[in-house]
Chains A and B, each alone.
Chain A
Amino acid sequence: ETGVTQSPTHLIKTRGQQVTLRCSSQSGHNTVSWYQQALGQGPQFIFQYYREEENGRGNFPPRFSGLQFPNYSSELNVNALELDDSALYLCASSWRTSGRRTKTGELFFGEGSRLTVL
């Protein structure tokens, strides 16, 4: 069984640039969630993707966007980077059964992508 993998592990960008982070979900999982974790804090929910559609979003501006692909992998894109975007970005995968009222089960996280904005 393959776990959640994220790339790149570390990257440095300057203000105003754009970044794309990638995540491969654990085999058998169909839902991907993205989180931002600032130093010394708990992770903050960015958004979740299920069946290639955004399925819930936290308090993040539109310059944070994402995609989910047919193989359930996902991308997080951040445009117009700001200094405060420096953080550890975590991807989590889970399984969700079909149905309007179902929710995801146990979350499994990758090792994260450490973004530094200068």
Chain B
Amino acid sequence: EVQLVESGGGLVQPGRSLRLSCTGSGFIFGDYAMSWVRQAPGKGLEWVAFIRRNAFGGTTEYAASVKGRFTISRDDYKGVAYMQMNSLTAEDTAVYFCTRVGDGYAIFLPDYWGQGTLVSVSS
């Protein structure tokens, strides 16, 4: 069974940093791209970041709202994806979901999701 478990969320002051982790199991972690999607309170979902599998260079992509502040990375030996979040603002307050990105579709898409971890940015 595919499982994704996020951790690292919490309350942080504006301007500070936080690192989220996502531990995957039930699949060969290195065979998949990974992404992060967030959901602000009472709002819809927003794609945040994407990392290709290392066989495709492990390159990354970011939403304009976080580019230059957030960094997605991966450790395939540990089966973990990370997101380093710097210069946080109140607008970053959200539940952050880790997703596996499947490629057995017309176009790759997030096919499995974790339950999310809450990040609250407030003084």
Does B bind A?
A: no
| Interface set of B (CB-CB < 8 Å, partner A) | none
